[in-house]
A and B are shown apart, each in its own frame.
Chain A
Amino acid sequence: DQQVKQNSPSLSVQEGRISILNCDYTNSMFDYFLWYKKYPAEGPTFLISISSIKDKNEDGRFTVFLNKSAKHLSLHIVPSQPGDSAVYFCAASGAGGGSNYKLTFGKGTLLTVNP
């Protein structure tokens, strides 16, 4: 049972345009969401997070939007740069202790930003 889904395995955008990466989740206990970027041969790098008490969080070119009723979040990158080309993972965890603290990852979306 895949609790965090990234339905687009890949996305290609032009440099300077907006990149929108999407993520859906099924577990209503999730209340903390994160996006990671991963280059080949490196570990995932934390990008941005959002807790369920917010619906938007912004950090420079990166903005994460959370729609709790739809159990959907998205990452917007504006403007996209060639160096943003990487695999992006959506991840979620819950509060309350126990197994909810672990991160559950989506399978990733490969973003390619063309010059």
Chain B
Amino acid sequence: KAGVTQTPRYLIKTRGQQVTLSCSPISGHRSVSWYQQTPGQGLQFLFEYFSETQRNKGNFPGRFSGRQFSNSRSEMNVSTLELGDSALYLCASRASSNQPQHFGDGTRLSIL
């Protein structure tokens, strides 16, 4: 069974640009969550989508947005990039709320 797939693995952008990251969950998983990992803050929850609806949202500015498609694939968008947005962005999927989340290998975003 294929795991969570995130693309691209690495991305370099400059300040002010926008970026879209993609996540394909494990087949059959309808919940997709996004996390930001930085050395100082650890893993921070961004948002969760379930059946194309945002179910939870973390404490991030509105520049961070996401969506989920009918096939459960999800995208995350960050607009007006700032240097502080440099991080590893992780996507996770799960079958239901009382099941563990399974993570992809992440997208390493670097802002110059």
Contact = CB atoms under 8 A, between A and B. Distances in A.
A contact residues, range: 20 to 34
Contact of B101 (A42, A46, A95, A108): A46
Interface string B37-51: 000001111001000
Contacts, number: 55
A95 to B, nearest CB: 8
A103 interface: yes
Contacts of B104: 43
A44 B98 CA distance: 18
A92 B56 CA distance: 15
6 contacts: A46-B101, A98-B56, A99-B57, A101-B97, A103-B45, A108-B42
Contact of B105 (A41, A46, A89): A41
Contacts of B97: 95, 101
A105 B42 contact: yes
Contacts of B13: none
B contact residues, range: 20 to 34
**Which has the most chain A C-beta neighbours within 10 Å: B44, B100, B102?**
B100
B105 to A, nearest CB: 5
Contacts of A103: 33, 35, 43, 45, 92, 101
Given A43-B104, A46-B100, A102 B58 contact: yes
Contact of B56 (A34, A43, A46, A99): A99
